Amino acid sequence: MAVTDSLGFQCALITGGGGGIGKALAKYLVSKGKKVLIAGRTESNLKSSVEETGAAGYYVLDTGKVDDIPPFIAKITKEHPELDCLVNNAAVQRPLNFLEDADFLSKADQELDINIRGPMHLVVGLLPHFRQKPEGAVIINVSSILGFIPISIVNPVYNGTKAFLHLWSMNLRTQLRQGGTKIRVVEIAPPSVGTDLHRDREDPDDNKKHKNPSALTVEEFMDEITVKLERGDEMITAGLGNEVVRKWYEAYGGQYGKAEAGGK
């Protein structure tokens, strides 16, 4: 089936689709006539999300267990060969203290696996499938403005993983473009959004508007980013993120553009 709209794909896989931003993206894409498949660690949440969003199906997958990713890719591409979009949304955010947490390393390792290795293994594993798509494909990586400025001091590992995802997305985009593929790379960098991402914090509601007036509700976030997604933007943020991202690119975008033009 040919792609006939500005989104540039027909069938999307959304990781972390059982709640929060992933669930909201699923509902939005279904409303746009897209086939949506969701993946996540908790089957009960996935079942509820399918019912509420109209997604076509779900897969139980812990993206932090990268050995499970190759057989998962083989399965989903066989069952849904039309798959032409990956949304790397699954992530965990842990409050960690270098001086106080005896289990720092075990928690940090899991966070690194889910937030970095999972997205990377999914992208690399799906590239051969995506490259066969005559109309191209889309990779959407969900980072965070904390990857631009790590102001959430209690989340030292999360901040670093999102900085990785931001910088990695830039290089991925450039290499795929310079390599002549039709695969677009889009980055969405949310500010504080009222999801359950802070469930491990002392106050799990400190990203909700009644506790943080600068935070966006999920609905406010989606209203802003979907306009940019449909416009074809490759770097997307919302709310307070607009100033953060603008200043970052004003400081470093030109220098990166020169490196990109040099093909290095």
Q: Which one from 158, 249, 252, 256 is the annotated catalytic residue?
A: 158
CA angle 80, 187, 96 (to 5 degrees): 105
Q: CA-CA distance, 16 to 23, in Å (whole number)?
A: 8
Half-sphere exposure in the Cβ direction for 112 (13 Å, CA): 9
Q: What is the DSSP string of 65-87?
A: -GGGHHHHHHHHHHH-TT--EEE
Q: Round to whole Å and give the CA distance between 141 and 194.
A: 19
Of 237, 141, 227, give the one whose Cα is nearest residue 183.
141
Q: Give CA angle at 74 (69, 61), nearest 5°.
A: 35
State which amino acid sits at residue 94. R
Query: How many Cα atoms sit within 13 Å of 51 on the Cβ side?
Result: 6
Strands 85-88 and 11-15, by their bridges, are: parallel
Q: Is 252 a catalytic residue?
A: no
Do residues 89 and 36 lie in contact, with contact meaning Cβ atoms separated by under 8 Å?
Answer: no
Q: Give Cα 5 to chain centroid, integer Å.
A: 21
Closest CA to 235 of 147, 111, 119, 112: 147
Strands, E, within 131-191: which ranges?
A: 137-142, 183-189
Q: Do residues 195 and 146 lie in contact, with contact meaning Cβ atoms separated by under 8 Å?
A: no
Which residues are part of the catalytic machinery?
158
